[in-house]
Structure 1
Amino acid sequence: MKHYELLVFDWDGTLMDSAGEIVSAMQQAIQVTGLPERTPEQMRQLIGLGLDDVLARLFPELDTQRVRAKLEAYRARYGMQRSTAVLFPPVMDALETLRDTGYVMAVATGKSRRGLNAAMRDTGTRDFFAFTRCADESIPKPAPAMLEDILLRSGTMPEQALMIGDTEYDIAMARAAGVDALGVGCGVHDTARLRRAGALDVLDTVEALPAWLACEVRPA
């Protein structure tokens, strides 16, 4: 009998309460660039995907590369505003408990490397994570590439790892990599959707993860 050894976390909506800020930034960019308006809920449901996938789903009637060029021109002109998003309140205590218990921890996120580095710097969480992979470094979710790379770098077998995320894209990535997945209900996709995607269980927040892991003993 053995426990998981590697815990891989999504970032936005799982560790950080950032969905509202992401949607607001997307709305502003769409308005400034003159793209067709989309509802906040349409945008919210796509958080976690890579940019090209988001654009293809939001604007199927438009050429994705032209839309991306518009948004990149917007970013070049206006820059990136400093994030005001914060970790969900229980996250820091949970990460400390998991580290002290001996788990190796990693992040696989739809954020860019620049965005993740800034978020980790601002929240003081960089030292918790041995491995991190971002959407602009690999094929983004729901493809398994980010997670497979973390498994390779950490020398971890898929059955020894657990993915924790708030979207069906996290669950799909894990399943494609042969990794178990756990959902958290504090983010953008609801409990039923996470379970349908194949999550083993859905916790309210990451705060409940140490206790869940203490009870979860898996066959070798």
Structure 2
Amino acid sequence: MTSHTERAEPVSEPGGRAEVPERVRELVLGARLVLWDFDGPVCRLFAGHPADRVAGELVAWLEGMGFKDLLPQEEQSHPDPMVLLGAVNRRHRRSDLVAEFEERLTREELRAVPTAWPTPYADPLIRTWTALGTGLAITTNNSPRVVSRYLATRGLLDCFAPHIYGRTRDPHLLKPDPHHLNRALDAMSAAPGQALMLGDSPADAAAARRAGVPFLGYARNGRKEEQLRSAGEEVLVHSLEAVLRVVREERATRQ
């Protein structure tokens, strides 16, 4: 289990050659299975199709259906459509309204795929881990249909399939619930201590903690770093270049 109090300074931004913190190195080398969050560590899904615009359109749809009052005033203007889905689900769990809301969100995510930005160093890191024989899975709050489509555009689907565990018609099981992580561990016959969760949010960290899986935070900017540190996470990287460096060094020692 990852220590949630041990401090490891983030490595330098891309292009830097700062020493990789020992705790980061230990986590990476100890992983036999890596559970990736999707939107963040793999790509920025809404880079060209802004999430706040999607959220606004979903609120407008609720209003047109006569359900806008389901959301408190502060949630009606929330920029994260996943927060809105959770709010609707809390009030009408397993209803047709939740199913339709989730499907509309999935369609918007699919529209975002062509303009998604690959996370720097993610593609070569995925391929290098695959070449080493490390198991890979996606554990995400996004739709698995969206994940599969994006990975196919990058030629990475075979690195993960069939181990893509994402949003179902029951949003109650989204992270921070560890449901997706536990599905991946069970399907790949891995003990929690053999795995590593790579995520960029407090929800990712909480899900990993509840599943007993070590966690490595990806903090691409100061806001993400502050969120993760506020959640008690101290083992962070600012760039996946540091992780790729460790994995490539390990591959070289095996050749």
Q: TM-score range by the shorter chain?
A: 0.7 to 0.9
RMSD between aligned residues: 3.8
Query: What are the superposed Cα offsets for residues 168-203 of structure 1, whole Å, 9 maximum, x if unpaired?
Result: 000000000001111111279521321332435111
Counterpart check, 1:160 vs 2:194: yes
1:29 corresponds to:
58
Equivalences, count: 209
Percent identical among aligned pairs is 23
User: Which deviates more, 5-14 or 26-35?
Assistant: 26-35
TM-score (norm 1): 0.75
Q: Quickly say closer, same or farther: Cα 1:101–1:10, change in 2 above 3 A.
A: same
Counterpart check, 1:11 vs 2:44: no
Query: What are the superposed Cα offsets for residues 41-98 of structure 1, whole Å, 9 maximum, x if unpaired?
Result: 9324x75x6x642546xxx8x7675864773686799995363213123211121222
Query: What are the superposed Cα offsets for residues 134-188 of structure 1, whole Å, 9 maximum, x if unpaired?
Result: 1217721111111111111111111111000111000000000001111111279
CA contact (8 A) 1:19 1:188 kept: no
TM-score (norm 2): 0.66
Q: Quickly say closer, same or farther: Cα 1:188–1:172, change in 2 above 3 A.
A: farther
CA contact (8 A) 1:107 1:132 kept: yes
Counterpart check, 1:98 vs 2:129: yes
Q: Quickly say closer, same or farther: Cα 1:71–1:152, change in 2 above 3 A.
A: closer
1:135 counterpart SS class: coil
Separation in structure 1 between the aligned mates of residue 109 and residue 191 of structure 2, nearest angstrom: 40
1:28 partner amino acid? E
1:12 counterpart SS class: coil
Selected match of 1:132 from 149, 164, 175: 164
1:218 corresponds to:
none
Q: Quickly say closer, same or farther: Cα 1:121–1:77, change in 2 above 3 A.
A: closer
CA contact (8 A) 2:144 2:166 kept: yes
Q: Which has more radius of gyration?
A: 2
Separation in structure 1 between the aligned mates of residue 212 and residue 103 of structure 2, nearest angstrom: 39
Selected match of 1:42 from 67, 78, 83: 78
CA contact (8 A) 1:14 1:165 kept: yes
2:78 partner amino acid? Q
1:116 partner amino acid? V
2:118 corresponds to:
87
1:118 corresponds to:
149
2:79 partner amino acid? M
1:143 corresponds to:
177
2:40 counterpart SS class: coil
